[in-house]
Amino acid sequence: MTFKELNLSSEILKALDETGYTKPTPIQAKAIPVVLKGKDVLGCAQTGTGKTAAFVIPMLEQIAENKLRDRQNKVRGLIVTPTRELAIQIGESFSEYGKYTRMNCTVVFGGVKQGKQTDSLKKGVDVIVATPGRLLDLMQQGFISLRDIQHFVLDEADRMLDMGFIHDVKKLLKHLPKKRQSLFFSATMSREIIKLSNEILDNPVEIAVTPKSSTAEIINQSVYFVDKGNKKNLLLHLLEDQNLNSVLVFTRTKHGADKVVRVLNKNKVNAAAIHGNKSQNARQKALGEFKDHKIRVLVATDIAARGIDIDELAYVINYELPNVAESYVHRIGRTGRAGAEGTAIAFCDATEKPYLKDIERLINQKVKVIDNHPFPLVDVNAEIAPKEQHPPRRNKGRGGSSTSGSKGNKRYSRK
């Protein structure tokens, strides 16, 4: 199938052709015809499947057609997404696919002054892409009205719940017209997600391109068991391979991300961090330099995971395993995008073994163990991950000789 077979306008086809897109991905091929018929959609698709275009393209098509019939200046489309980065990415997609349609799209998000966003809204827009907090804020100030919304998209719904936006989403729903088309997309489908979708959708068509909560088969996954204190040494060891020339590293905390960046820069590896404590300008600067290969390693927390869209990103390293298994799916989904090959490497210390079990249960497969490395897990039964290991020191105070203990050279195995 080609995009031409989807009965799209010449303006959109021209834009798609200029981007080099000729064949829709499976989620696009399934979703676009359904959306164009005006039906609600419940979509289960992991990141990297081309999901954004699956709702941006038909929304452009529908709004352009409606605008020709009704020339009034009003907001007709709303897309709500959990992070600034993802909102910006969706806005860029609108500009790219709709550059010949004369559609106006504005992206609104927090963390920056609202002046430029409100100036754009005052001029009149057809579509708003927004994060929940800033959207509600601008609505309260009177800059945005949702009374004329015809097309509503809730993207990355599971991440919305993870980040605590469920109450904001429910507030927004009260302001939307009952008569509208709604599209609901999520990478995972928990009971909570299904419950939320039932509140938003009307007799939806269900579309899934991969098994629920699965990881892409084209991603080569592996895990290294390593003591917490030796993770930085293992990371530096892996980065000695120059083939790892563009690597996205994930940590659980902002402090951890900054710490990893300091270690890498100290060892002459160009790196930058992207997380919630960084200003929007700093985050965009770091992401831009990473895309332009000016920095080799980008260290991120989960809050930024969904918004990082980088073509041909071959390597993702989970420096720290997430304590929520679904986050692992989102993290490694940054690689292996649009059919490209990808490699996902995980570091697992003694305290993270339960997280790994949860991940393997979710993805329904065992992650390949790489045990041939210079920093094997030693403290197998540690409840608190040990500090970086040092050579045994003599206990001079009591005159006894130090020993490494019976587990000193024991490597971890699954048994």
The CA distance from 28 to 49, in Å, is: 9
Q: Give me the tens of pLDDT residue by residue for the chain, a chain 415 residues long.
A: 889 899 899 999 999 998 888 889 889 999 999 999 999 999 987 666 788 999 999 999 999 887 766 666 789 999 999 888 889 889 999 999 999 988 899 999 998 899 999 999 999 999 999 999 999 999 999 999 999 999 999 998 888 887 788 899 999 999 999 999 999 998 778 888 899 999 999 999 999 876 444 555 678 999 999 999 999 999 999 999 999 999 999 999 889 999 999 999 999 999 999 887 777 778 878 888 988 889 999 999 876 555 566 666 889 999 999 988 878 887 888 786 655 678 999 999 999 999 999 999 888 889 999 999 999 998 766 554 434 344 344 343 333 333 333 333 344 444 4
CA angle 100, 103, 107 (to 5 degrees): 125
Q: How high is the pLDDT of residue 395?
A: 41
Phi, psi of 411 (to 5 degrees): -90, 155
Specify whether the CB–CB gap between 307 and 84 falls below 8 A.
yes
The pLDDT assigned to 37 comes to 95
Kindly provide the b/e burial profile for residues 147-185, where b requires at least 16 CB atoms within 10 angstroms of the residue's own CB: eebbbbbbbbbbbbbbbebeebbeebeeeeeeebbbbbb
How does DSSP classify residue 102? T
Read out DSSP for 277-315? TS-HHHHHHHHHHHHTTSSSEEEE-GGGTTT---TT--E
H or E stretch covering 346: strand 342-348
pLDDT for the residue numbered 234: 97
Q: Where are the beta strands (DSSP E) in 174-270?
A: 181-186, 205-208, 219-225, 247-250
pLDDT at res. 84: 84
Find out whether 54 and 28 touch, Cβ atoms under 8 Å.
yes
Coil/strand/helix, residue 271: strand
CA dist 230 and 387 (Å) reads: 8
Domains recognised in the chain with CATH numbers: 3-208 (3.40.50.300), 219-369 (3.40.50.300)
Instruction: Answer yes or no: pTM beyond 0.85.
Output: no
Q: Where are the beta strands (DSSP E) in 4-149?
A: 41-44, 77-80, 105-108, 127-130
Cβ neighbors of 71 (< 8 A, separation 6 or more) are none
CA pair distance 108, 193, nearest whole angstrom:
24
- Token pair listed for 267: 């060892």
Return the closest-CA partner of residue 335 out of 319, 318, 311.
Answer: 311
**Best CA proximity match to 121, nearest among 100, 110, 135, 101:** 135
